[in-house]
Amino acid sequence: RFQACVYFASVFQAMSCGIHYLASVFMAVTPNFVCGFPGNVSSVLFHNSSASSIEDIWTLWTSTENYIVVQLENGDIWELDQCSRSKREVTLDLAYEYKGNKSVFACSDGFLYDDTKWKSTVVTQWDLVCDREWLAKLIQPTFMLGVLIGAVIFGDIADRLGRQRVIWFTSAGQFVFGIAVAFTFDYYSFVVVRFLLAMVSSGYLVVAFVYVTEFVGIKARTWASMHVHAFFAMGIMIVALVGFLVRTWWVYQIFLSIATLPFVLCCWMLPETPFWLLSEERHEDAQKVIDTMARWNKVSTPCKVSELCSVQQDDPASDRTGDGEASSAKKHNILDLFCNWQIARRTITVWLVWFTGSLGYYVFSLSSVSLGGNEYLNLFLIGAVELPCYIIACVAMDKLGRRNTLIPFLILSALICVLIMFIPQDFNTLIILANMAGKFSIGVAFGLIYLYTAELYPTIVRSLAVGSGSMMCRVGSVVAPFCVYLRSVWIFMPLLLVGIMALLSGILTIMLPETLGKPLTNTLVEATEMGRNKKSCSEKTPPAHSGAASEKIEMFGQERVSTDK
């Protein structure tokens, strides 16, 4: 019961991460637009159609190469393009086609936007079109850059200061910066605040994965970790719903930011994880958390930290290495992920899977926009399609194992990339189905790698490992749009690159150890041994003391403790 309350409180805020990651889909949309004109309009022409206002013409607008002809009350006739306007020298006859002389002017009177779908976006707010269009295209990349930096910074801080403090700060930061975005006064302040929002959103998501992984037991770890992604997907669905209901960008942003306000009001009640407290030798604090768990779960004989620690203190080997471990316990950085060949090879493979998962996810997602139809419904379904993906992943991870699930789905996504290359371009439905299958398969791998990374590394660098992996994930998401641009070189170039990366990742994953049913490790020595001589380590060598302590804490809170390994 205790773990369930902590879990659902923590993952509820993960919806906010999904919300802010995808908010720019509608907030930074560019509607149809043309140059403004100096004066009041009396009549409007668009091909063979005439109207008294430009608002009546937008439904006929089909291409950016079109132009609108307007006649002002003073008799002047203007041709309005998207980024320029022309004044006709002869104004005797109002016609769409004109062969006479005309003077070209810049859009000094601003722009006129189609507001039938969106009353206001950041593009229309600050005229991010034409020669300022590149500023609009930087909105999402700068956000993803903040996500990248936040993943590393807050992952490292969580290992040094604790998961609890980072949970507090990042959840409050999401609410504060989310509201602040709606009240920014210009484009540059908007980008800066969004950058800070990205950092805290990414920091929360990374630490939340580690937080729930360290609180739940072995049996529930797979489902608990994977369904953090499900709440993230629900955030995407909320974006679609709010986008459909609210068409002014700053109001839309406020509604999205207050969606998870209940968590901000109660997040201060979340405790620190016993794993981190034990790694910092704060045994009394760890015992308090365990006693609280015992009261909630109605366990009559709670686990005693002193008994677990006394075993390690009596071990001569522990005495010899204790001072060295204590002195290094406080100093952990990215280099610890390359402390020996076993861990370094593991880190390289894990980073590659993170990168490939993100790259493939966004490449397949960008391909799915050709589905057509209602854009709000499409985004809602894109979020909803992830839910069965994680259910399949959970079942496979518990039945087959983490590694044995990751390998086939990575290779399957590579095969789907090859398959799409051989589908005729006229078979649109089949191409869409194949792209969705590719997204599904890469989504399983993408969701699995969070939990797998947390289980492959010890407590002292777990948040750092997940944070650095998330950094590689963000690198993949930044590279993905540029990968899609390679369609101009060859239409199948993006799929070829994703297929190669997925195949390479699948092959290298074979060398990773299986973590299904194993207790979390606390030290780098234990993590290294997990990858060596799996059979002899599990059957002949007694478990490390800190690993045993970890296992007891993981299983604690269940009235019936299973001794079957």
Residues 182 and 292 placed together within one structural domain of the fold: no
Residues 155 and 300 placed together within one structural domain of the fold: no
Within a domain: 315: no
Q: CA angle at residue 191 from 149 to 14, to 5 degrees?
A: 55
Which of 247, 270, 293 terminates a domain? The answer is 270
Q: How far apart are CA 113 and CA 118, in angstroms?
A: 9
Beta bridge partners of 105: 85
Within a domain: 548: no
Residues 106 and 188 placed together within one structural domain of the fold: no
Which of 77, 100, 116 terminates a domain? The answer is 116
DSSP secondary structure, 155-179, as one string: HHHHHHH-HHHHHHHHHHHHHHHHH
Residues 524 and 378 placed together within one structural domain of the fold: yes
Neighbours of 253 (CB within 10 A): 28
Q: How far apart are CA 18 and CA 382, in angstroms?
A: 12
Within a domain: 549: no
Residues 378 and 513 placed together within one structural domain of the fold: yes
**The domain spanning residue 470 has which CATH number?**
1.20.1250.20
Residues 103 and 221 placed together within one structural domain of the fold: no
Within a domain: 66: yes
pLDDT one digit per residue (tens) for the chain, 565 residues: 888 888 888 888 888 888 898 888 888 888 888 888 787 777 787 777 777 677 777 777 766 667 788 888 777 788 888 888 888 877 677 777 777 788 888 888 888 888 888 888 999 999 888 888 888 888 888 888 888 888 778 877 887 888 888 888 888 899 999 999 999 989 999 999 999 999 999 888 888 878 887 888 777 776 777 778 888 888 888 988 998 898 899 999 999 998 878 777 777 778 887 878 887 778 777 788 778 887 787 777 767 766 666 555 555 444 444 444 444 444 567 777 787 878 888 889 999 999 999 898 777 776 665 555 677 877 787 778 788 888 888 888 878 888 889 999 999 999 999 998 888 877 777 877 787 788 888 888 887 887 788 888 887 787 788 778 877 887 888 887 778 768 768 888 888 999 999 999 999 988 888 888 777 777 778 777 776 644 433 333 334 444 444 444 444 443 333 333 3
Residues 363 and 293 placed together within one structural domain of the fold: no
Within a domain: 93: yes
Residues 468 and 364 placed together within one structural domain of the fold: yes
Q: CA angle at residue 5 from 4 to 9, to 5 degrees?
A: 115
Within a domain: 558: no
Residues 339 and 301 placed together within one structural domain of the fold: no
Which range marks the domain in which residue 303 is found? Answer: 274-309
DSSP secondary structure, 184-235, as one string: --SHHHHHHHHHHHHHHHHHHHHHHHHHHHHHS-HHHHHHHHHHHHHHHHHH
Within a domain: 219: yes
Neighbours of 306 (CB within 10 A): 10
pLDDT tens digit string along 278-302? 877 787 777 887 788 877 877 777 6
Residues 364 and 458 placed together within one structural domain of the fold: yes
Residues 358 and 491 placed together within one structural domain of the fold: yes
The residue among 399, 508, 477, 506 whose CA lies nearest residue 141 is 477
Q: How many domains does the chain have?
A: 4
Q: How far apart are CA 427 and CA 406, in angstroms?
A: 30
pLDDT tens digit string along 93-102? 777 777 778 8
Residue 479 CA neighbour count, 13 Å, CB half: 18
Supply the pTM of this predicted model.
Answer: 0.77
Within a domain: 396: yes
The DSSP output letter for 407 is H
Residues 62 and 151 placed together within one structural domain of the fold: no
Which of 72, 94, 116 terminates a domain? The answer is 116
